[in-house]
Amino acid sequence: MSRDKHKLLRVDPERLWRRHIDMSKLGSTDRGGVNRAALTIPDVELHLELASWARERNFEVEIDDYGNQFMRRAGSEPQCHALVSGSHSDTQPTGGRFDGISGVLAAMEALEVIDDAQICTRHPIEVVVWNNEEGTRFSPSDMGSAVYVGQTPIERMLAATDDEGVSMAIAVNTLRASIDWAIERQLGTPISAYLELHIEQGPILENENIDIGIVTGIQGTRKFEVRITGEEAHAGTTPESNRQDAFMDAVKVVNALQEIFFDPEDKVRFTIGRFEVSPGSLAVVPGHVLFTIDFRHPENTVLQILGDQIAEVCKKTATRCTTQVVETRSAPSTLFGNVVQEVIEECAKQRTYSFKYLPSGAGHDARYMNSFCPTGMVFVPCRKGISHNEKEYASPDSLAKGAQVVVDSLLMLDGLI
């Protein structure tokens, strides 16, 4: 029975779509996107909304020391560790209405459809909202899942501060205070399997008119902060020969790095997303430049070889200034195992959804979960593959098909493991 009990269930596409629209109002921008940084007021409101849905159904609400939130529907066999599905709720500053939240809402839809059908599962089933996946308010990114599985020490992550000097520890306390009836979740509590739905954030599924992406793995990434320090000087009186112009040296450094990272096969992803010149005054020769590097590649050897050259290239190319290169995050490529992938494939087939195996260019919390328990990801198409952009869009039909596969996969996993 348990392998097929999911066949009768249907997600509610209207409820799922309406919830996307409602959640996108929390942190909405006037250009139709969402700016909802980790544990800001709109993000805490979102957590509270999810927790109130859970409480209405007598699901337990748990929050761990890093602010990851779990909504749990009990299973019949308490010795079974939970099956968990979810994603993140925080967004980029000019983010879209679907990145992250679609995985959370698909998981919530699954829990409610199972609950409405009064299906008794062996495993508890949980929805998770990982804290701080985007890393825009508190650097680095993906910290909720990394801390949960023990890959990063929590103390350092709680000490991280935002631009106003507010620490993550304070932000987590704000979340806890707003959901003061939530119970304590221990970091690292075992999980039987993890399933994350996410928009593809690339064009493949839409271009090939495919309903479901079965993710094979996530490419590796290395992130850096580069500081170039010269000397501020008067723009009118300082001869070129005397200048320690941090901006001019930064331009040379960026050009040199572009040469190193040029890839005729177009597999390297090299991005300078932030570039700050100070003091930023018209009549002052810049004394300081800070810029970030987001480098990604599917092969760990390439990540190593190219990433290790950055510091030397900066030092050699900046002839007038000093340079400092700090690596803020490094995560190798990871491949998902077969257990969850095969379940996703079987469920897509049973629903006669088209599907395709493909890698993820974007990072996800599933990266860290993959070192902790059997893990898999379901991709749904998004318009022109646009993401980290206010124009990001996924259709109600795509989201409903993805959520249906999440429901079916969780119930199939319940019978399997």
Binding at 125: pick from ligand HGY, Mn ion, none (beta carbon under 5-8 Å per type): none
Q: Hey, is 380 helix, strand or coil?
A: strand
Query: In the complex with ligand HGY, which residue's Cβ is closer, 69 or 201?
Result: 201
Q: Is 296 left (phi over 0), alpha (psi -120 to 50) or beta?
A: beta
Total of residues contacting Mn ion (CB under 5 A): 2
Selection from Mn ion, ligand HGY, none that 363 binds (CB < 5 to 8 A by kind) is ligand HGY
Q: At closest approach, how far in Å is the CB of 141 from Mn ion?
A: 8
Q: Is the distance from CB of 19 to CB of 105 less than 8 angstroms?
A: yes
Neighbours of 145 (CB within 10 A): 30
Element (H, E) at 22: helix 13-24
Closest Cα to residue 267, out of 293, 303, 292?
303
Partner whose footprint covers residue 141, from ligand HGY, Mn ion, none (CB < 5 to 8 Å by kind): ligand HGY
Min separation Cβ 206 and Mn ion, Å? 17
Q: Considering CB distances under 5 to 8 angstroms, the limit depending on partner class, which of Mn ion, ligand HGY, none binds residue 162?
A: none
**3-class SS shares of the chain: helix, strand, coil, % to 5:** 35, 25, 40
Residues in contact with Mn ion, shown as a per-residue x/- string from 78 to 117 under the rule CB under 5 A: ---------------------xx-----------------
**Residues β-bridged to residue 197:** 378
Cβ 371 to ligand HGY, closest distance in Å?
18
User: Which residue, 141 or 333, is less far from ligand HGY as judged by CB?
Assistant: 141
Least Å from the CB of residue 383 to ligand HGY: 17
Report in angstroms the alpha-carbon separations of 217 from 58, 165, 361, 370: 35, 36, 9, 9
What residues line the site for ligand HGY (CB under 6 A)?
Answer: 133-134, 141, 362-363
Q: Is 53 exposed, middle or buried (0-12, 13-18, 19+ CB in 10 A)?
A: middle
Q: Which does 414 bind (CB under 5 to 8 A by kind): ligand HGY, Mn ion, none?
A: none
CB of 9 to ligand HGY, least distance (A): 30
List contacts with Mn ion (CB under 5 A).
Answer: 99-100
